[in-house]
Amino acid sequence: MNIFEKIVAGKAQCNKVLENDDYLAFYDIAPKARVHILAIPKVCVKDLQSASPDVLKGLCEFTKEVAQTVGLDKTGYRVLTNIGEDANQEVPYLHFHILGGENLKALGF
Ligand code: 5GP
């Protein structure tokens, strides 16, 4: 079980932002921006490349709701997802990084 599977199963803690039946959003443990949230489907999919259109569509809609929940829809934000080795994907579980809360120009992404 990877760490995000444990979080979904309630076996590891997270600082939750938003949840519905199919998706969960929580704050990144090592934030790379003033606001750094991770949004995931509750069903484990390895990455965007292996995700179904339905899962991706739902994750995009959920991401918009997360942004509205914390006010990032008003100030702007960035969505990023790492896929595989060259992207240095650390957790093999599809997740969108939602970054904002400050101007992102200076960040090393
Ligand atoms: P990746 O490199 O796979 O795209 O990003 C994985 C992200 O998960 C990193 O930003 C990292 O800080 C975050 N992360 C790793 N372990 C945990 C954890 O236990 N809890 C939370 N909230 N975030 C984590």
In terms of C-beta density within 10 A (0-12 exposed, 13-18 middle, 19 or more buried), how is residue 105 classed?
exposed
Find the farthest-apart pair of alpha carbons in the chain and give their distance in angstroms, rounded: 36
**Is the pLDDT reported for residue 102 higher than 80?**
yes
pTM: 0.97
What are φ and ψ of residue 38, in 5° steps? Answer: -110, 130
Choosing from 67, 95, 96, 98, which is the catalytic residue? Answer: 95
Q: Decide: 4 in ligand 1 pocket, CB within 6 A.
A: no
pLDDT per residue over 21-61, tens digit each?
999 999 999 999 999 999 999 999 999 999 999 999 999 99
**Would you state the pLDDT for residue 106?**
77
Say how far apart CA 109 and CA 106 lie, in whole Å: 9
Q: Decide: 36 in ligand 1 pocket, CB within 6 A.
A: no
Percent of the chain with pLDDT over 90: 95
